[in-house]
């Protein structure tokens, strides 16, 4: 897996931070922001990683309630860029994807900033999503509907099965809908 390889080169920053993972079809960003806000209010150094962005890539990463600056974003990209090149030279099923790069940046930024809890929004799926590399202690499942059926399955049951693959052993899972 490309995300695993780049994070190994970075000394596995995803193993140095606690994570809450948000998966589902709709409501992931709102849920991630709300959870991060609650944790920050209680004095926990928190960040979140969401997707997609609307105006700027920096919107995807927040630390302690503030969007990362372009300077911070560029600095973390510069830290991982040599490893992007290394991974792309390996035979790992194609070049590292845009989402894998952004996710690796979020993991490294969380480590750099001393984040206690990082709230991660899954991209499209669960099982094969780059964010699934995190050993999340808590998983939130928002509503699930028919989307990305070419990749995730043709029924709500199949799509939900893919998304819940982020739930690790001994993790707490909660859902916003039934």
67-76 residue pLDDT tens: 899 999 999 9
Q: Can you give the pTM of this predicted structure?
A: 0.90
Q: What is the mean pLDDT of residues 102-111?
A: 96
- Number of structural domains found in the chain: 1
Pick the closest to residue 115 from 175, 34, 49, 164 (CA basis): 49
Per-residue pLDDT of 5-31, as tens digits, reads 999 999 999 999 999 999 888 888 899
**What's the CATH code of the domain at 77?**
3.40.1190.10
C-alpha span between 35 and 134 (Å, rounded): 17
178: pLDDT confidence band, cut at 50, 70 and 90? low
Report the Cα 42 to chain-centroid distance in Å.
22
| DSSP structure class, residue 110 | H
**Calculated CA dihedral for residues 101, 102, 105, 110, nearest 10 degrees:** -140
Do 66 and 115 form a contact (C-beta atoms < 8 A)? no
Q: Which domain holds residue 84?
A: 2-175
């Amino acid at each position: 897996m490309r995300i695993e390889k780049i994070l190994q080169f970075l000394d596995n920053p995803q193993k140095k931070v606690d994570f809450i993972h948000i998966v589902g079809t709709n409501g992931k960003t709102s849920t991630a922001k709300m959870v991060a806000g609650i944790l920050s209010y209680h004095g926990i150094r928190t960040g979140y990683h969401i997707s997609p962005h609307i105006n700027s890539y920096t919107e995807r990463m927040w630390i302690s309630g503030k969007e990362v600056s372009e300077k911070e974003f560029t600095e973390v990209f510069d830290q991982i860029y040599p490893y992007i090149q290394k991974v792309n030279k390996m035979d790992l099923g194609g070049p590292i994807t845009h989402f894998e790069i952004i996710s690796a940046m979020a993991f490294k930024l969380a480590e750099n900033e001393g984040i206690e809890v990082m709230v991660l929004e899954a991209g499209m799926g669960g099982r094969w999503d780059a964010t699934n590399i995190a050993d999340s202690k808590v998983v939130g499942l928002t509503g699930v509907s028919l989307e990305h059926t070419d990749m995730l399955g043709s029924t709500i049951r199949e799509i939900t099965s893919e998304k819940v693959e982020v739930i690790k052993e001994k993790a707490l899972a909660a859902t916003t809908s039934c």
